[in-house]
Amino acid sequence: MTESRFINFALPPWLSAGPAMAVLLFFLAAPLCIVAAYSLMEADPHGGVRAAFSSEAYVRFLFERDWDGNLALDGSYAAIFARSFLLAAAATALCLLAAFPAAYCIAGQPPERRGLLLLLITIPFWANLLVRTYCWVLILRDSGLANTWLSALGVIASPLPLMYTDGAILAGLAYSYLPFMALPIYAALEKTDWRLMEAARDLYAGWWQTLFRIAVPLARGGIAAGCIMVFIPSLGAFIAPDLLGGGRKLMIGSLIQLQFSSSRNWPFGSAAAFVLLAAVLLVLWLWLRRGGAQKAQW
């Protein structure tokens, strides 16, 4: 009886998927189409675009009009992209290193304590990103916490130059996105059958072997999800590079932001955002093709 009632209420698939499709259409497809269209138009001198076709924005990525107006091969933007990708990859690796042990420990706790520990991981996330990043300025600058303590302990004689380095950017990024890594790994580990770990120990697997041959493969789906969720926002970040890196080098995020503000070149900003999106999709696609897909459990 229950079964037939369920069938009565069931909607045809195309209709039941309607709300999801509408959300995707309005919040994903439509904005992307606008960005794509803008990237192929001419820049309005006062910001915005003029309705005229131009592929100049894409040409600019590889070819720069030199000071005399000729087209010449130019690596500036490629270098900016490469730097951003490297930094995002490093931030992701750092997050993974910090988040896996944390998630592993939490998943191994009695259930009543896990909730509290997870809450503690997410609490910093309630504060504004700008505020959290600025706190790192207070820690890392010459007269900041780190240098004050180190010199009080007599470890250093003069302040270490911690601020305005790639390391400072990395610390800020990894700190900002740590929960994005810890939560999916925890979710994956929590679902696994911990008897497998016990069995491994019973069969004389060492601590490292248990970790790398049992726990890590079981958490693979969570690790993959976490990596994607940290890598992508790190790639577009501009607050940490500007505040902690001293704005000395452009990142993709700051490049795009610049085009929409003082450089008033919306088409180039849109094109940069689009190239970034394409690059991310390409990396993901290659990764999924290499077999990540079968093993990743989302």
174 lies in the site for other proteins, by CB under 8 A? no
92, 227 contact by CB (below 8 A)? yes
Stretch binding other proteins (CB under 8 A), from 62-70, 88-96, 103-111, 208-216? 62-70
Stretch binding other proteins (CB under 8 A), from 137-145, 172-180, 202-210, 216-224? 137-145
**Binding to other proteins, residues 238-257 (CB under 8 A):** 242-243, 246-250, 255
CB of 10 to other proteins, least distance (A): 43
How far apart are the C-alpha atoms of 116 and 123, rounded to whole Å? 10
262 lies in the site for other proteins, by CB under 8 A? yes
The residue within the footprint of other proteins, chosen from 134, 194, 220, 284 (CB under 8 A), is 134
The residue within the footprint of other proteins, chosen from 16, 31, 33, 76 (CB under 8 A), is 76
CB of 263 to other proteins, least distance (A): 4
Residue 297, token pair as written in the block: 């459990």
251, 84 contact by CB (below 8 A)? yes
133, 213 contact by CB (below 8 A)? no
Residue 145, token pair as written in the block: 């916490």
R_g of the chain computed on alpha carbons: 24
233 lies in the site for other proteins, by CB under 8 A? no
Any idea of the CA torsion for 26, 32, 36, 38, to the nearest 10 degrees? 70
Write out the H or E segment, with its range, that includes residue 64. strand 63-65
192 lies in the site for other proteins, by CB under 8 A? no
Residue 57 neighbours by CB distance under 10 Å: 24
The residues binding other proteins (CB under 8 A) are 43, 45-48, 64, 67-68, 76-77, 79-80, 130-131, 134, 137, 141-143, 163-164, 242-243, 246-250, 255, 258-265
